[in-house]
């Protein structure tokens, strides 16, 4: 059987790294993308090839896909995962920071999808997995711009699923809840760069309450296993939310209704 070729973005840490390693263990040849070259080199192996690039660099993405197709002849799987969380009140995050959130989390995914789709269409096969978030279907105070970017990822994925089905291409959304990676620490670093008037300090403290469970959150391998299942199962899932917090979030909002759900969140954040 021919070896399947995969590309994983955000493979230098957390979910992307765990996914790249697990795909390679499962027989895939993996192109591992992120900015930190040194980190990517740590996972280089016979079946993992690093491609250092920034997902906002359209030219570098085109060159990367050309390299993959020239050397391997095909591209079977795209895992869009590179991203970050711009924390901060909707009023206070600068437009520049908000644009950057979308440049990476939304247009970064879109650039890769547009780059691989012509090849997948020609092959009449392909799997695209977009890593969304528990905040892809709900939104919380302090997470407005991040949640907006993940809602956009969910919408693009749903549209593309309908468009690409006839070409033999499946699109899956995986929506992680809280996972122990570098993500939360980077979020709080970015939060410090946002100027909040005193009136917002309670919400800032609320974000710390909300993410206090991060050190006990599951390891990224739980998501990596879900991704590998999604690209190896004959019938891939449409949307897989995990672990339990993400699984129950949408149901809880539906059962409680928007107003009571928002009240419950404010209780949890103590705001
Ligand atoms: P990490 O911070 O550990 O990993 C993020 C990855 O994205 C890194 O490899 C980073 O690499 C890469 N990345 C960020 N910006 C860029 C860029 N401009 N160009 C290229 N690569 C970039 O976080 P996670 O593993 O947790 O996050 C992975 C995905 O999971 C994200 O999309 C996130 O939104 C989502 N998610 C995470 C949750 C969590 O609780 N951890 C919950 C829900 C969703 P480098 O810096 O080397 O470029």
Mutate which of 7, 15, 43 for ligand 1 pocket (most atoms within 8 A of beta carbon): 15
Ligand 1 within 6 A of 142 CB? no
Ligand 1 center to 33 CA (angstroms)? 11
Ligand 1 center to 271 CA (angstroms)? 28
- HEC per residue, the chain: CCCCEEEEECCCCHHHHHHHHHHHHCCCEEEEEECCHHHHHCCCECCEEEEECCCCCHHHHHHHHHHHHHHHCCCCEEEECCCCCCCCCCCCCCHHHHHHHHHHHHHHHHHHHHHHHHHHHHHCCEEEEEECCHHHCCCCCCCHHHHHHHHHHHHHHHHHHHHHHHHCEEEEEEEECCCCCCHHHHHHHHHHCCCCCHHHHHHHHHHHHHCCCHHHCCCCHHHHHHHHHHHHCCCCCCEEEECHHHHHHHHHHHHHCHHHHHHHHHHHHCC
- List per-block mean pLDDT (blocks of 10 residues) for the chain, which spans 271 residues: 95 99 98 98 98 98 98 98 98 98 99 98 98 98 98 98 98 98 97 98 96 94 98 98 96 96 96 94
Ligand 1 within 6 A of 79 CB? no
259: which residues sit within 8 A by CB, 6+ positions away?
none
Q: What pLDDT does residue 160 have?
A: 98
Backbone angles phi, psi at 233, to 5 degrees: -65, 145
Ligand 1 within 6 A of 13 CB? yes
Q: What pLDDT does residue 255 have?
A: 97
Mutate which of 20, 43, 82, 149 for ligand 1 pocket (most atoms within 8 A of beta carbon): 82
pTM: 0.98
Return the active site residues: 12, 132, 146, 150
- Kindly give the number of the ligand 1 atom that is closest to the alpha carbon of 146: 34
Ligand 1 center to 16 CA (angstroms)? 7
Ligand 1 center to 10 CA (angstroms)? 5
173: which residues sit within 8 A by CB, 6+ positions away?
129, 130, 132, 136, 153, 154, 157, 158, 238, 239, 240
């Amino acid at each position: 059987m021919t070896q399947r070729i995969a590309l994983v973005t955000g493979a230098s840490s957390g979910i992307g790294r765990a996914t790249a390693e697990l795909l390679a263990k499962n027989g895939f040849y993996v192109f591992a993308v992120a900015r930190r070259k040194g980190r990517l080199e740590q996972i280089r192996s016979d079946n993992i090839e690093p491609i250092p690039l920034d997902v906002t660099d359209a030219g570098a993405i085109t060159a990367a896909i050309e390299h993959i197709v020239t050397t391997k002849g095909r591209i079977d799987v795209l895992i869009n995962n590179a991203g970050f969380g711009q924390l901060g009140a909707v009023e206070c995050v600068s437009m520049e920071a908000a644009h950057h959130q979308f440049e990476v989390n939304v247009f970064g995914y879109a650039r890769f999808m547009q780059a691989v789709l012509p090849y997948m269409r020609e092959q009449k096969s392909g799997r695209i997995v977009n890593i969304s978030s528990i905040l892809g279907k709900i939104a919380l105070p302090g997470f407005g711009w991040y949640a907006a970017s993940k809602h956009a990822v969910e919408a693009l994925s749903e549209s593309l699923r309908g468009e690409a089905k006839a070409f033999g291409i499946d699109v899956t959304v995986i929506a992680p809840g809280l996972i122990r990676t570098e993500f939360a620490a980077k979020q709080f670093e970015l939060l410090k760069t946002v100027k909040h008037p005193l009136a917002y300090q309670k919400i800032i403290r609320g974000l710390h309450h909300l993410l206090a469970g991060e050190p006990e959150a599951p390891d990224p391998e739980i998501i990596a296993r879900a991704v590998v299942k999604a690209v190896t199962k004959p019938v891939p899932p449409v949307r897989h939310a995990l672990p339990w917090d993400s699984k129950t979030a949408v149901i809880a909002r539906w059962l409680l209704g928007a107003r009571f759900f928002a009240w419950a969140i404010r209780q949890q954040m103590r705001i």
